[in-house]
Structure 1
Amino acid sequence: MNDLVVTPLGELEDRIRQIVREEFRSEAPAIVKQANRKDYLTTAEFKELTGMCYRTQKYHRDAENIEYVQDGRRILYPIKAVDQFLEERRVKAAG
């Protein structure tokens, strides 16, 4: 026979608050980071992020390894393309 356990309402409310608070603390930094992120990076910002010099950036653009937008001489990298470019080059740790 199954035993029925009834938890007092106050205990349930406290537990729910605790769980929501813990989840918020763990997820909030990533949410804020994503919300404050730009849609595009300049070549200087891309260099700052990756350490990749302008010549190497040009090599990857010419080789069609990364998407970019060009307006005259100005080059912009869509942040989604940057994420994909970096993810494709991620080296998995052994172990």
Structure 2
Amino acid sequence: MRDMHLKTMKVIEFPKNKMVKDKMKKYKLETAIMMLEVLVDYDFTIIVNPKAAENIFNLPKNKLIENFIITTDINKAEKLEIKKPCYYQLTGNELT
């Protein structure tokens, strides 16, 4: 009886965890969309962890890159003097 009860608890707990995970994912997406709506009118530079960049952009692993930089103004981004950068310049068409 006890084992059966524990199995039932796991089944009940899993959907709850999935709902929380889905809510967090939705919250992050809504936050990202709000940030993009604000950033359309301004120059910006975002520095992304290389592991995250590999996952997001399906890039091959590259040990020479320590920072993946997404920017609207490459000249300003280069002045930041970031170690081992990889730059991606946005033209503006991506955000509209």
In terms of Rg, which structure is larger?
A: 1
TM-score normalized with structure 2 length: 0.33
TM-score normalized with structure 1 length: 0.34
